[in-house]
């Protein structure tokens, strides 16, 4: 039986300048295959709304849908570090709701990392989720959930200096 891969293992790999293998995955069968191939991390992304359900954007992904598919991926890949993507409106309606939703991914689906599309407006949410003992993976760059507001995709935080602004 393989040793489960933890966030600490990924941090240690970074310290050693060792590359990791991470993939996006949305279903049991594919997760089984990529786990057998030896990936270090799987991200269950809200892009499942597009890839699985055929929507034009990630916005229709719901918490129930995301928790369900994340749990399926966990059952298929019990030893892989698992990240779950917080869908649109699951963390922007209040800190309590954000922590509760993040907790669903950990408790009901076995996620080890919670991915949040980050901007300065989400710093309090990221801190609250982290303070609730859940690891957060802040996503900067192209943030598909901004599509509802902007109507287009745009890269943000392309350099360290811009990301810190």
The structural domains of the chain, ordered by start, are 7-164 (3.20.20.60)
Taking only the tens of pLDDT, the chain with its 165 residues reads: 578 999 999 999 999 999 999 999 999 999 999 999 999 999 999 999 999 999 998 999 999 999 999 999 999 999 999 999 999 999 989 999 999 999 999 999 999 999 998 777 789 999 999 999 999 998 776 655 555 555 554 555 555 565 545
74 contacts 82 by C-beta, under 8 angstroms: yes
CB atoms near residue 115 (< 10 Å): 20
Share of the chain above pLDDT 90, in %: 73
122 contacts 132 by C-beta, under 8 angstroms: no
41 strand-pairing partners? 22, 81
pLDDT value, residue 3: 87
Question: pLDDT of 137-158, one tens digit each?
Answer: 987 766 555 555 555 545 555 5
DSSP label of 165: -
Pairing of strands 41-44, 81-85: parallel
> How far is residue 54's CA from residue 51's CA, in Å, rounded to a whole number?
6
Sequence-separated (6 or more) residues with CB below 8 Å from residue 56: 50
Predicted model pTM: 0.84
């Amino acid at each position: 039986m393989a040793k489960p891969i933890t966030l600490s293992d990924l941090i240690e790999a970074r310290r050693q300048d060792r590359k990791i293998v991470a993939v996006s995955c949305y279903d049991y069968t594919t997760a089984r295959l990529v786990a057998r191939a030896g990936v270090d991390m799987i991200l269950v992304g809200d892009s499942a709304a597009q890839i699985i359900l055929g929507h034009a954007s990630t916005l229709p992904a719901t918490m129930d849908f995301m928790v369900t598919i994340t749990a399926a991926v966990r059952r298929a890949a019990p030893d892989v570090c698992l990240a779950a993507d917080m869908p649109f409106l699951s963390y922007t309606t209040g800190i309590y709701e954000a922590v509760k939703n993040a907790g669903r991914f950990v408790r009901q689906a076995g996620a080890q990392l919670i991915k949040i599309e980050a901007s300065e407006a989400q710093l309090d949410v990221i801190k609250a989720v982290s303070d609730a003992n859940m690891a957060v993976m802040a996503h900067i760059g192209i943030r598909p959930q901004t599509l509802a507001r902007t109507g287009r995709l745009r890269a943000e935080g392309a350099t360290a200096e811009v990301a810190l602004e």
